[in-house]
Amino acid sequence: MSQTAAITSQLAATKIADATLKDSENKPEAVKNSTEMMTNGATSEQEQEFADPFCNADNPQIITFQDVTSAAFKIKKGIEYTPCPKSHLSEMVDMDIYLKKEFLQFTGSFKERGARYALIMLSEEQKKRGVISASLGNHAQGLSYHGWKLGIPVTVVMPSKASLMKIQKCRNYQATVIVKGVDMGEAKKIALRMAHETGLTYINGYDHPHIMAGQGTIGLEIAEQVSNVDAVVVPVGGGGLIAGIATAIKNLSPQTKIIGVESEKCPSFTKALENKAPIYTPNEATLADGLAVPQVGYNAFATTVPLLDKMIVVKEEWIALAILRLVELEKCVVEGAGASGLAAILAGHLDEFKGKRVVLLVCGGNIDTTIFGRCLERGMAAEGRLQRFTVRVSDAPGGVSKLCNLLANLGVSIKDIMHERAFIRDVNSVEVKVICETRDWQHSQEMRKMLQETYQEVYFYEMPMAI
Ligand SMILES: Cc1ncc(COP(=O)(O)O)c(C=O)c1O
């Protein structure tokens, strides 16, 4: 059994007959026929798994610098040349930080580059029939948008955990959206089977050689925009982004270090390095959902490994803090994946570059509004600016008010306050639980000291600290 087959067989078998095509009126003919076939369905063939002809474990394809330059020429007209300015964060981390702002692409991420190039490179017949892919969101959006602009029908299979906002955006870009499969593994199986049945061309979002070459065009722009770069820090999911960028950068500036970053919740590339080949790595929920790919691509892995200088696994609280910093200091709204390069610096994983010139890929801005709110709060908690404590105060008139005044006099802002009497033995006391905001860690320490000096019973809830 091939490695791909072994890995995918770990996933629950998904019957294509179950696939629900929500927006049937927009479906390309081939997809409509496939739906009918699915509902009439011959199950034995449906249980079969289909491989992606472009991603072969036994024969990985390594892209070249010429592939990247060719992509740059061909996609130029449809893609934003994004800025790469020096960041306000530089002083704080004692490095010259440059931010390559790929979240400024129309659909909010770099994924448009590879998607447009892959679409342009199709034959006329393939363009007419259309393409299909599986994606959690950013690749789906890039493909849907550019397919729409180029007049190529696009079908995307998005797992049920994909964000509603990303699903809706793809529909707005006129794609046929199928929400199916619990995770990327299942969604990919469904998409591959549909490609086989309908004649649509399957485009893997990180491992198709044209996708990698398209993402590599970012490296060419960085080389034009910033001179003497010491390191480029690239978030890693399936590995297409780093494969393309490393190919461009190492060719133009061999001394520049290529650093990959993953979340601790989905360290698929690190596991692949240990295993010396891509291997299935279960993912947990992460703030960097764009990086949640359980197995890196064979082509991406083979292209990246000889060019990679360091791979970092970063903790989630640093990602939350990086999102907060990018909002506060750079006025950039960035998703977890896009903030992970800065997270690696804040966590001290790149201290060897102090005083040097470092480019961070700020590669996506598609963050759910509710997740964004939670990230900001978590970032503040991780930094010690959001504090939670319980204190027992006198239940006489003015007891709670005295606590509030003490906090106010110290400049601490109460976010939430709750008091509790029923379960307290001492009838003259009330237990007050407070969530409050301070200026910084130092300020939090001052507040703790004051409370401990004033009250006999104070309990502080410890948070995962990122300072
Ligand atoms: C915002 C963002 N950053 C980084 C990545 C990682 O790219 P790749 O899967 O090519 O490694 C993704 C992948 O979807 C992404 O959406």
Domain containing residue 92: 65-106+217-378
Q: Is 235 found in the same domain as 340? A: yes
Work out which ligand 1 atom sits closest to the CA atom of 102.
1
Ligand 1 centre to CA of 241 (Å) is: 7
Q: Is 84 found in the same domain as 132? A: no
Q: Is 141 in the pocket of ligand 1 (CB under 6 A)?
A: no
Helix (H) or strand (E) holding 337: helix 336-346
Residue 161 has which token pair?
């955990």
Work out which ligand 1 atom sits closest to the CA atom of 236.
11
Q: Is 296 found in the same domain as 190? A: no
The pLDDT of residue 195: 96
Amino acid, res. 142: G
Q: Residue 36 pLDDT more than 70?
A: no
Asked whether residue 346 is assigned to any structural domain, the reply reads: yes
Q: Residue 76 pLDDT more than 90?
A: yes
Q: Is 291 in the pocket of ligand 1 (CB under 6 A)?
A: yes
Q: What is the mean pLDDT of residues 283-302?
A: 93
Ligand 1 centre to CA of 398 (Å) is: 55
Amino acid, res. 357: R
The pLDDT of residue 3: 37
The pLDDT of residue 12: 28
- Residue 419 Ramachandran class (φ > 0 left, ψ -120 to 50 alpha, else beta): beta
Q: Which ranges constitute the DSSP H helices of 89-228?
A: 89-93, 111-120, 124-129, 138-150, 164-172, 184-198, 209-225
Q: Is 343 found in the same domain as 310? A: yes
pLDDT in tens, 338-353: 999 999 999 999 999 9
Q: Is 238 in the pocket of ligand 1 (CB under 6 A)?
A: yes
pTM: 0.83
Sheet architecture: strand order including 176-179: 176-179, 154-158, 131-134, 201-202
Q: Is 277 found in the same domain as 365? A: yes
The pLDDT of residue 371: 87
DSSP 204-243: -TTTSHHHHHHHHHHHHHHHHHSSS--EEEEE-SSSHHHH
Residue 246's domain is classified under what CATH number? Answer: 3.40.50.1100
Q: What is the mean pLDDT of residues 374-391?
A: 88
Q: Which of 138-152, 177-191, 295-309 has the lowest mean pLDDT?
A: 177-191
Whether residue 23 contacts residue 171, with contact meaning beta carbons closer than 8 Å, is answered with yes
**Mutational test site, ligand 1, from 206, 283, 326, 368, max ligand atoms within 8 Å of CB:** 206
**Residue nearest to ligand 1 atom 1, measured at CA:** 364
Sheet architecture: strand order including 357-362: 96-101, 357-362, 231-235, 257-263, 310-314
Contacts of 100 (CB under 8 A, 6+ apart): 82, 84, 218, 221, 222, 225, 359, 360, 361, 362, 363
Show the 3-state SS of 8-29: HCCCCCCCHHHCCCCCHHHCCH
The pLDDT of residue 381: 86
Q: Cα(444)–Cα(60) distance, rounded to whole angstroms?
A: 53
The pLDDT of residue 31: 54
Q: Is 289 found in the same domain as 239? A: yes
Q: Is 102 found in the same domain as 140? A: no
Asked whether residue 38 is assigned to any structural domain, the reply reads: no
| Cα distances (Å, whole numbers) of residue 281 to 162, 226, 237, 364, 402 | 19, 36, 12, 23, 53
Asked whether residue 12 is assigned to any structural domain, the reply reads: no
The pLDDT of residue 27: 52
Q: Residue 21 pLDDT more than 80?
A: no
Give me the helix-helix angle, 336-346 and 316-330, nearest 10°.
Answer: 100
Q: Is 335 in the pocket of ligand 1 (CB under 6 A)?
A: yes
Q: Is 216 in the pocket of ligand 1 (CB under 6 A)?
A: no
**Residue nearest to ligand 1 atom 6, measured at CA:** 237
Q: Is 198 found in the same domain as 80? A: no
The pLDDT of residue 370: 87
The pLDDT of residue 30: 52
Q: Is 360 found in the same domain as 410? A: no
Binned at pLDDT 50, 70 and 90, residue 8 comes out as: very low
Work out which ligand 1 atom sits closest to the CA atom of 212.
10
Amino acid, res. 51: A
Q: What is the mean pLDDT of residues 281-292?
A: 90
pLDDT in tens, 409-453: 999 999 999 998 888 778 889 999 999 999 998 999 999 999 999
Q: Cα(169)–Cα(331) distance, rounded to whole angstroms?
A: 24
Residue in the structure block whose two tokens are 């007891």: 399
Give me the helix-helix angle, 399-409 and 441-454, nearest 10°.
Answer: 150
Q: Residue 16 pLDDT more than 60?
A: no
Asked whether residue 371 is assigned to any structural domain, the reply reads: yes
| Cα distances (Å, whole numbers) of residue 401 to 223, 308, 405, 408 | 60, 59, 6, 10
Among residues 438, 342, 432, which one has the least CA distance to residue 381?
438
Binned at pLDDT 50, 70 and 90, residue 296 comes out as: very high
Q: Is 266 in the pocket of ligand 1 (CB under 6 A)?
A: no
Number of domains comprising the chain: 3
Contacts 24+ apart (CB under 8 A), 274-282: 277/3, 277/57, 277/301, 278/3, 278/57, 279/3, 279/7, 280/7, 280/10
Share of the chain above pLDDT 70, in %: 89
Q: Residue 35 pLDDT more than 90?
A: no
Pairing, β 458-460 against β 429-437: unpaired
What are 431's strand-pairing partners? 392, 420
Among residues 404, 408, 411, 465, which one has the least CA distance to residue 438?
411
256-276 per-residue burial string, b: 16 or more CB within 10 A, e: under 16: bbbbbbbbbbbbbbbbbbeee
Q: Is 270 found in the same domain as 190? A: no
Q: Is 194 found in the same domain as 114? A: yes
The pLDDT of residue 464: 56
Q: What is the mean pLDDT of residues 140-160?
A: 97
Work out which ligand 1 atom sits closest to the CA atom of 234.
4
Ligand 1 centre to CA of 245 (Å) is: 12
Whether residue 298 contacts residue 269, with contact meaning beta carbons closer than 8 Å, is answered with no
Ligand 1 centre to CA of 295 (Å) is: 13
Q: Which of 51-60, 184-193, 457-466 has the lowest mean pLDDT?
A: 457-466
Q: Is 416 found in the same domain as 273? A: no
Asked whether residue 24 is assigned to any structural domain, the reply reads: no
